[in-house]
Amino acid sequence: MNKLLSLRNVTKTFPVRGTSLTVFKDLSLELEDGEFLAVTGVSGIGKSTLLHLVGLLDTPSSGEISLNNIVYSSLIPEEASKFRNQKVGFVFQFHHLLPEFTVLENVEMPFLIGGGGQDDARKRAREILDIMGLSNRLEHFPSMLSGGEQQRTAIARALINEPDLLLMDEPTGNLDPRTGNGVMDHLDALRKKRKYGCIIATHNMKIAARCDRIFPMNGNGENHAGEILR
C-alpha cells in the first residue's frame, strides 16, 4: 500500500479578537491509498477545521500536509486551486449546490472548470449520477430534490474529476439512517470500480464503523470541546 495523505505535526490556531484559539496541536495522521477514514469527536473539536486544511481551503499554522507526496506549502495559489480541483473532492455538510443549475449541470461544473470539454463532462456526469442512483433526476433543480438526493448530487459533483481523496463533512448528518446507509452503499460500490481515499467527519458511529479506520479527535488544543473531555 502506498501512502496517500500525510499530516505531520499540524497545528491550527485561529486569531480571535486580539487573542487566539488553538484548535489542535501537533496532529499527525496518515492515510493509505484507497483507505476510508472516519474522523469523530464532539462538536467544536475541529473536524471541519481538519477537513478544510486537507482540502486546501485553509492553511495550517504550522506543520506539513502532503497528498501523493506533493507538499501543500510548496504550491503557489494557482497550483493549489488546480490541485484542489483535480485531486480532492469536497462534500460540505450543507450541499452547496448551485440553485439555478440542474443536477446534471451542477455535477459537470468542476470538470468544465478544470478545462474539460462539454461532451466529456456530460458523459462523466451521467455515469457518476447513474452510480449514485440519480439517472432519473438529471433535469431537476436542487430545490426539487429530497435531502438525500441533494447529498448524492453533491457527492457526484465531488467525484466527477476522479479525485484521489474524497472529503465529506457530515455527509449523512441530515439523512435518516436508511438513506445515510444508502449513501455509504453508493460510495462502496464506486470504490470497487475505482480506488480513492476518503475522510468522513461524522457523529454517526454506524457510518464511522463502515470505514476502514476511525480517528477519534480528543481535543489537545485549547478549545472548549477539549476542556470538556479533560
Ligand X SMILES: Nc1ncnc2c1ncn2[C@@H]1O[C@H](COP(=O)(O)OP(=O)(O)OP(=O)(O)O)[C@@H](O)[C@H]1O
Rule CB under 6 A: is residue 14 a binding residue for ligand X? yes
Set of cell numbers at residue 217: 479527535
DSSP run (H or E) holding 84: helix 77-87
The residue (of 50 and 183) whose beta carbon lies closer to ligand X is 50
The minimum distance between CB 14 and Mg ion, in angstroms, equals 14
DSSP β-bridge partners for residue 201:
39, 169
The minimum distance between CB 126 and ligand X, in angstroms, equals 33
Rule CB under 5 A: is residue 48 a binding residue for Mg ion? yes
Using CB distances below 5 to 8 A depending on partner kind, what does residue 44 bind out of ligand X, Mg ion, none? Answer: ligand X
DSSP β-bridge partners for residue 199:
37, 167
Among 25, 31, 46, 95, binds ligand X (CB under 6 A): 46
The residue (of 14 and 141) whose beta carbon lies closer to ligand X is 14
Rule CB under 6 A: is residue 48 a binding residue for ligand X? yes
- 137, HSE (Cβ side, Cα atoms, 13 Å): 23
Using CB distances below 5 to 8 A depending on partner kind, what does residue 16 bind out of ligand X, Mg ion, none? Answer: ligand X
Rule CB under 6 A: is residue 45 a binding residue for ligand X? yes
In our burial notation (b when 16+ CB lie closer than 10 A, e otherwise), range 171-210 reads: bbbebeeebbbbbbebbeebeeeeebbbbbbbebeebbeb
